[in-house]
Structure formats: C-alpha cells, structure tokens
Amino acid sequence: EEDPFKYTPVIHNYAATNLIPRHLGPEYIIHGAKLYSPWDPTKTEVTLVVSEWFFDRSLHLIEHLDDKDHPFSEVVVMVPPAAAAHDDYDLMTEVPVRTQHRGAPDFMDLCEADIKTDWFMITNSYHHVARHVDLMFTPGTFKPVIPFTPATYAFCFKYPYCKETINLAQRFNPGHDKVVQDMDMLYNTEMRNAFCKEWKEQNGDEGELMYKHQQRRLMFRKKIIGPPGPTGTSYYAWLVREGKDGMYKLTDRSLYGARPPFVKIFAKEEKLDGMSEDELAKRIGMTLLDNSTDCNCMEFETETDCEDSGIGCIWRPLFESCHPPELIDGSAPICPTTEAPTSAPTVSMDGIFDETDSPTSSPVEPEPEKDPWYVSVFKSRESEKDRSNSFNEANGGSMQSPDDDEILGSEKASRARRAMLKKSKSFEAVDLQANERL
C-alpha cells in the first residue's frame, strides 16, 4: 500500500535535544533544538586523567585515541606505586602521555592528579574514549555545558550509592539536588584544588573521616554503600556554596539526554576486579565466570557492529551511536540492570588461591532444622502418645498395642490406663500454663 505520509528533509524535529553544529543535517527548519558551541582548541586545553590498576587495560584506550574525535591535549595515567611505567606511549598515540604513581588510594585520583592545563576530565581503564567527545559550550560566554540527573526517588534515592552521594554533597551545600557523574564533569583545575583542600580538611587526606560519625547507621547495617572519596557531585555542590557554579551551564539529563564521552568496554572485568577475595571465591565456586557475558550496546561504534551485535541494539545514524531498543521505544530492557561497581578494584587475584584437595566422598550431615514456634501447638497428641509409650515401658510393656484404637481387655491394664490419663492431664495443664505465659 502507498504510504499516506510524505517525508521531507527540509524540516526536522529536535525537540528536547542538545546539539552542536556537527549534529545538524540538510534541514532548513529546525524544531526544538538547543544549539551549543563545540569545543574550541584555541580557547581551552583539556587533560584526560585515566585511573589504572595492575592490568594495563588503559593501553586499549591509548592505542585507539588517535582514531577518536576528542579535545584532549595530554593524558595522565594514574598507576599504583608498584606498577611499572611505560616509556613507549609515543608509539601508540600522538597525544603526549605521562605516568603518575599514586601517593594515595585510587579513589583520590580526582584530587591527586597533577594537571598542567586549566581543565581536565577523568575516566578509568575500563573505558575508552567515545568516537566523538562532543563537549558543549554556551555560545559567546563559552561556559561548559554539563548534564545532571535530578536527585529524585526514581532517578537516585532508590539506589543506595546515589543516595549516599547526595548525602555527602549536602555537607557542602544543604539541599543539594543534582547528581553529576564523575566522568561527565569538565573540572576546572584551580577550582578542583580549592575544593580538594577543603574536602581533605573535612574527611581526611584519604577519606578516613568520611563515615566516622555514622556509627548509629552502622549499627543497623554491615556497611554504608557510598563513594569512598570525592565525587563530581560534591565538587559541584561546593561550587554552588561558594557562588562559583555560574562558570557552568547545567542541563537536565532526564529531559535533554546526554552523550557519554567515555564508553565502558571492560564491564565484566570491572565487576570481577571490584570483588573482595571472599566474593570472588564464591563466584568461582558457583562456576559463573565463564557463563557471564557483557551486554552493552554503547561499545559498538559502527552501524555494522551495532546491527550485528546479536542482542537487539539499534543504530541512530544522526548521532552515530548505538543504543538498546528500550532507550528509543520504551520497551523492556534487553540487558539486566546491576548495581554500580566499586571505583577501587582489588589487587590481582592471580596466585592468591592455592589448589585444594578433592572433596570428601561422603557429605557432611547438615544440622537439623529447628521447629518453628507454632509447631508446639500441634504436638499435644504426639506428646500424649510419647508419655503413653514411656509409661508402658516403665510397666513392662503391658500397655503396648499394634493398633492405637485397640481396646485393652485386662482390668489391670484399664486401671493403668486411667492412672496414665490422669497423670497426662496434669502434664497438659502445666504445658497450657506455659503457653499462656508466652
């Protein structure tokens, strides 16, 4: 059948969409777009900080950096004190790369990174740089445009980690109600230094005082689920309190969306590295390591890879990005949702677990389960029967009978039974009083 609708490239609907000129097509009439300026390298130099651990996964990011459209003029790789520094970065990328050994825990990288430029962004080695890092700035004033998520129950408070992130930010700005992802924020180096100085005064050089006064909360839970160090949300809350938040233009992610500047490509590895030894041993014992698969449409950066993903991802040609279908049509998620992983993975587990002997052939007998409280209510007849058996054994077994309903013939046995019942009633009276006391 002929399509009754006629389509034209002259007009395009960009309602509730933040754009830079690169996103525009041949249309002449544009509806609803918020148009911002792209990054200008003559005005702003940006450093990229990469948190690395023991696995050299950051090499994947660095090796593919020249294939991306990005604003980074330098890369700083934060590594553990015992990790070796690479001296061949110049063979991998044209962007200058230097290694900085940590002098504090990895969750302090935001404050500890040595930055030479006025601005910087931060990611970790489980990500790589997106195909297009579309940093946006307000026209004329050139303020960075930063996406935020409103701190509501639907978007934040039902997730313990997010709720605690807001609680910590409100120590700087009571009533703070915006969540800014660490990897979405374009940090100003001078403001970062001032923020981190005050953060350390409040929470200790390594965050050891963050939850010191939360003993009452710890009485009701094993641990507090929340960030162990400074966050982009706390950084912005501090700016608001200092009256310096005007250097940014914030835009609501729940209304206008946002394009991530970094794409996670080692999702499974991040979960495993973030596990404690006990958690990892339990997971190994459940034999789930080989059965788990990544489910992430964002890692596919070409139309062919997206359509051939095998998990139902959909390519959006306008923004050259791959998305799960629920993001477009509101259907059920194709990937399971999980809790956010820790930001500080444990050390490598290689060599920690020794080989074990084969298990015993005979299983250990489990502990018998305790009866629930209400079982005693239904045991009166069983109790009577048990007492009857005890009485029979004490009298030489004269009362034993293969049939509970059999009539005992001897007079002697009848007298014995009446005496037993009388004694049983006294026991039941004692039990009744005990039950009444409960």
Q: Are 300 and 335 in contact (CB under 8 A)?
A: no
Pairing mode, strands 97-101 and 178-179: unpaired
For residue 327, the SS3 value is helix
**437 pLDDT more than 80:** no
* pLDDT level of residue 271 (50, 70, 90 thresholds): confident
Q: Are 149 and 169 in contact (CB under 8 A)?
A: no
Q: Apex CA 64: angle with CA 50 and CA 248, to 5°?
A: 50
Distance CA 197, CA 205 (A): 9
Pairing mode, strands 145-150 and 249-252: parallel
C-beta pairs of 238-244 under 8 Å, 24+ apart in sequence: 238/172, 238/173, 238/195, 238/198, 238/199, 239/191, 239/195, 240/172, 240/173, 240/176, 241/172, 241/173, 242/194, 244/191
Highest mean pLDDT among 246-250, 310-314, 383-387: 246-250
* pLDDT level of residue 267 (50, 70, 90 thresholds): confident
- What is the model's pLDDT at position 422? 55
Other CB atoms within a 10 A radius of the CB of residue 35 amount to 15
Distance CA 77, CA 99 (A): 5
Please give the radius of gyration of the chain, using alpha carbons only, rounded to the nearest integer: 34
Pairing mode, strands 178-179 and 145-150: antiparallel
Structure tokens at 6: 């006629």
**145 pLDDT more than 90:** yes
User: Per-residue pLDDT tens for 195-224?
Assistant: 999 999 999 999 998 888 776 666 666 677
Higher pLDDT, 369 or 82: 82
- What is the model's pLDDT at position 105? 94
Mean of all residue pLDDT scores within the chain:
77
**397 pLDDT more than 50:** no
Distance CA 172, CA 159 (A): 21
Distance CA 306, CA 314 (A): 7
One-letter amino acid for residue 37 of the chain: S
Structure tokens at 242: 């200092």
Structure tokens at 50: 């990469």
Pairing mode, strands 178-179 and 72-79: unpaired
For residue 99, the SS3 value is strand
* pLDDT level of residue 346 (50, 70, 90 thresholds): very low
Q: Which residues contact 179 (CB under 8 A, 6 or more apart)?
A: 148, 149, 150, 151, 155, 156, 162, 165, 166, 233
Cα–Cα separations (whole angstroms), residue 116 to 76, 100, 239, 348: 10, 13, 21, 32
Cα–Cα separations (whole angstroms), residue 85 to 52, 58, 77, 102, 256: 11, 12, 9, 12, 41
Distance CA 101, CA 113 (A): 9
Higher pLDDT, 433 or 6: 6
